[in-house]
Amino acid sequence: MPFDLAARLAARRAENLYRQRPLLESPQGPEVVVDGQPLLAFCNNDYLGLANHPQVIEAWRAGAARWGVGGGASHLVIGHSGPHHALEEALADLTGRPRALLFTTGYMANLGAVTALVGQGDTVLEDRLNHASLLDAGLLSGARFNRYLHNDAQSLANRLEKATGNTLVVTDGVFSMDGDIADLPALARAAKAKGAWLMVDDAHGFGPLGANGGGIVEHFGLSQDDVPVLVGTLGKAFGTAGAFVAGSEELIESLIQFARPYIYTTSQPPALACATLKSLELLRSEHWRREHLQVLIRQFRHGAEQIGLQLMDSFTPIQPILIGDAGRAMRLSQMLRERGLMVTAIRPPTVPAGSARLRVTLTAAHSEAQVQLLLNALAECFAQLGPEPSHA
C-alpha cells in the first residue's frame, strides 16, 4: 500500500527517535512552564537573554502602533518598510559590510543565498556537519554537491582540486549540535587559493562571539575578502526572528534579483524589525551579557568534567554532553525533567548514529546558582543511569 505512514511512524518510535513537541506556556527564559510543569530550562538559543527583554517588547509595541502588524507584501512589491531598511543598515554596520539583506527565516536566507550564487555547471562544497538548511540549499542549487570532512581544510583543498565552474564553500560558524567553531582562517585560505567564495552561516556565533558580538568573523578578525557571504539569524542571540545576509553591494543586489525565497515571500512584520533594532543595540552595548555567559560556560565545563561527563570541544554557549545511545540519552533527559530541569536529548538523524547527546545551552539570563543546580542534578542522574549498554 502506498504512503504507509503508520509503519514509518511505528519504526521511528521503535528506534527511540520519535519526536514530540513540548508546549511552552510561558515566555522564554531560564524559568519556564512546559506542558503545565514549572522547569529550569537549559535548551533554548536565547544566548543573551533578550527574547523577553522589556525594552525589546516595548520596541515591538511601539512599532506595531506606528507601522501595524503585517508586512503586507513582498519586499519588491510594497512590503519593504522604514524599519526593515533601518535594520538592514544597522546589520551592515554590525558586520562592517556595505549592505545587508533581511530574510524571514534562516532557512530561507541559506536557501536563497546558495541557489542564487551557484547552479548547474558550478560546485558547492560543504562541511559534513553543516545545518540541514545549508545541506538542502546545496542539493537544491543544481550545482555539483560534495561534502568535506568536518572542519578539515586539507579535505576541502582536495575537493577544491576537482571543482568546476563557480565554486562556493559553505560552513557553519558555530556548529549547532557540537558547539565547536569553524577554522575560518584555514578554510578561507584554501578557498582563496582556488578562487572559490566562502559562505559562513554564523547563526549561533552572533552575540556570544566577538568583542562586540559580531560573531566568528569578528572573533578571527577576518574581512569581507576572506568571507564574501556572511549569514546570521535573529531568532537566537538577537532574541527576535528572521535572518540576514551581509556582503558587498553586488552580492546584495544579486540576491534581490535572483534569490527566490527573498523575492517570493511577504516581508516580516515591520514591528519585528523595530524590536530587533532595539535588541541589536543591547547586543552591542551591554558587554556584561557576553562576559557573564563566559563565566557560566567555564563553570559548567569545570563542573561537568569533575562529574566525569563527556563534553565536546566547545567554548560557546552550546555544551553537548555525549551519551551515545539514543534510549540512554532520552532516559537521562527524562530523569532531569523529573527533577525540574529541561535539557533536550538530541538523537539521529539530527546527529550521527551513536552520538546521541544532551544539548545544554547556557544564556546570559542564567545565574551561577542555576548552573550549579544543573550540575548537582547531572551528578545524581548520571550515577543512576548506569553503564553504557553492551552491543555484543
User: All 3 cell numbers of residue 251?
Assistant: 552580492
Confirm or deny that 339 is annotated as ligand binding: no
38/36 Cα distance (integer angstroms): 7
Confirm or deny that 233 is annotated as ligand binding: yes
Got the DSSP string for 328-375? HHHHHHHHHHHTTEE-EEE-TTSS-TT-EEEEEE--TTS-HHHHHHHH
Confirm or deny that 262 is annotated as ligand binding: no
Confirm or deny that 247 is annotated as ligand binding: no
List strand residue ranges (DSSP E) for 48-189, in order: 99-103, 123-127, 144-148, 167-172
Confirm or deny that 131 is annotated as ligand binding: yes
Strand pairing partners for 145? 124
166/83 Cα distance (integer angstroms): 35
Confirm or deny that 176 is annotated as ligand binding: yes
Is 53 marked active-site? Answer: no
Is 176 marked active-site? Answer: yes
Residue 123 gets the label, from left (phi > 0), alpha (psi -120 to 50) or beta, of beta
Q: How far is CA 160 from CA 122, 196, 222, 227, 363, in A?
A: 12, 8, 21, 16, 38
Confirm or deny that 276 is annotated as ligand binding: no
Q: How far is CA 302 from CA 78, 174, 370, in A?
A: 53, 21, 15
Is-contact 57 276, C-beta < 8 A? no
Got the DSSP string for 244-300? EEEE-HHHHHHHHHH-HHHHTSBPPPHHHHHHHHHHHHHHHH-THHHHHHHHHHHHH
176, 267, 279, 333: the catalytic one is: 176
Is 236 marked active-site? Answer: yes
53, 75, 84, 204: the catalytic one is: 204
Name the strand (E) or helix (H) holding 320: strand 318-324
337/175 Cα distance (integer angstroms): 26
75, 80, 84, 236: the catalytic one is: 236
350/242 Cα distance (integer angstroms): 22
Confirm or deny that 204 is annotated as ligand binding: yes
Q: Residue 282's CB: how many other CB atoms inside 10 A?
A: 18
Which residues are the active-site residues? 176, 204, 236
The annotated binding site is made up of 19, 106-107, 131, 176, 204, 233, 350
The annotated binding site for substrate is made up of 19, 131, 350
The annotated binding site for pyridoxal 5'-phosphate is made up of 106-107, 176, 204, 233
